[in-house]
């Protein structure tokens, strides 16, 4: 079974659209065990309310891919959830393929990449190695921070039609053409979610980060067309992570 079907199945079973982002603040070198303990504790508290867990570079860097992170990925799987690596891959094709293969060897089920690199000798090898292994590729389409407008929000000229088009809508079209397993569109800009959803239809699910701490509304994102919500600091930094996750789960349940 491919990633897109797997996460949909788990989301339905858990009645959850929530993807937990294990985003912890910087800690001094040598505190990796504390990070692992904290990650374990958060996962244990919130797993009933989520369908997947997203890892970022700032967790992989201090823990090591095969030293600490692989153990956490195994625990995610033991809870019946999926693990997504937010690598934001953005290099030449051969490098992208090798990067992905390392993450997949550590147990990850999907990886996030940047579509700016293009298809030939860029994303193509990444998609090939991913789909061959039943893994998923999720493409950045419009990020959740304010500066995203400088890149994803710029107006470009379609090289085929000669028509001016926003960069993010071109990326939405590429999501469909490449058969991506997901598109990242920030919950902080629900109007962009709506526009991208019109392009993607039901072919490519939308993953929306930025709920809560960054100012995005979970309800507005879902109403605009988001399929999954990526939530980090709103849960991880909460005094009661389980309660924070439960509240978001109640607001955004599938049925």
- Which positions are annotated as active-site residues? 88
Q: What b/e string do you get for 135-173 counting C-beta neighbours within 10 Å, with b at 16 or more?
A: bbbbbbbbbbeeebbeebeeeeeeeeeeeeebbbbbbbe
- Alpha-carbon torsion (18, 19, 24, 25), positive or negative: negative
Kindly report the backbone phi and psi dihedral angles of residue 71, in degrees, each rounded to the nearest multiple of 5, phi listed first: -65, -40
Q: Are 175 and 206 in contact (CB under 8 A)?
A: no
Alpha helices in the chain (DSSP H): 3-14, 32-46, 57-63, 70-78, 93-105, 124-132, 167-178, 190-200, 218-224, 233-236, 241-252
CA distance 116 to 128: 18
β-sheet bridge partners, residue 185: 142
SS3 category, 152: coil
């Amino acid at each position: 079974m491919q990633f897109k079907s797997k996460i949909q199945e788990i989301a339905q079973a858990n009645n959850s659209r929530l993807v937990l982002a294990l985003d912890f603040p910087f800690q001094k070198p040598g505190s990796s065990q504390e990070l692992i303990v904290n990650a374990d504790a958060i996962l244990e508290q919130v797993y009933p309310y989520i369908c997947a867990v997203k890892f970022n570079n700032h967790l992989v860097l201090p823990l090591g891919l095969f030293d600490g992170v692989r153990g956490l990925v195994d625990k995610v799987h033991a809870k019946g959830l999926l693990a997504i690596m937010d690598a934001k891959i953005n290099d030449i094709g051969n490098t992208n393929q090798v990067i992905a293969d390392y993450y997949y060897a550590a147990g990850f089920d999907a990886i996030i990449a940047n579509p700016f690199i293009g298809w030939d000798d860029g994303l193509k090898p990444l998609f090939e190695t991913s789909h061959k292994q039943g893994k998923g590729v999720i493409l950045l389409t419009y990020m959740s921070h304010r500066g995203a407008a400088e890149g994803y929000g710029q107006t470009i000229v379609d090289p085929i039609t000669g028509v001016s088009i926003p960069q993010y809508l071109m990326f939405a079209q590429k999501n469909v053409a490449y058969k991506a397993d997901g598109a990242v569109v920030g919950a902080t800009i629900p109007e962009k979610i709506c526009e991208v959803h019109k392009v993607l239809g039901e072919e490519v699910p939308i993953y929306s980060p930025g709920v809560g701490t960054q100012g995005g509304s979970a309800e507005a994102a879902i109403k605009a067309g988001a399929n999954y919500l990526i939530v980090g600091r709103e849960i991880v930094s909460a005094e009661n992570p389980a309660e924070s996750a439960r509240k978001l789960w109640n607001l955004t349940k599938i049925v």
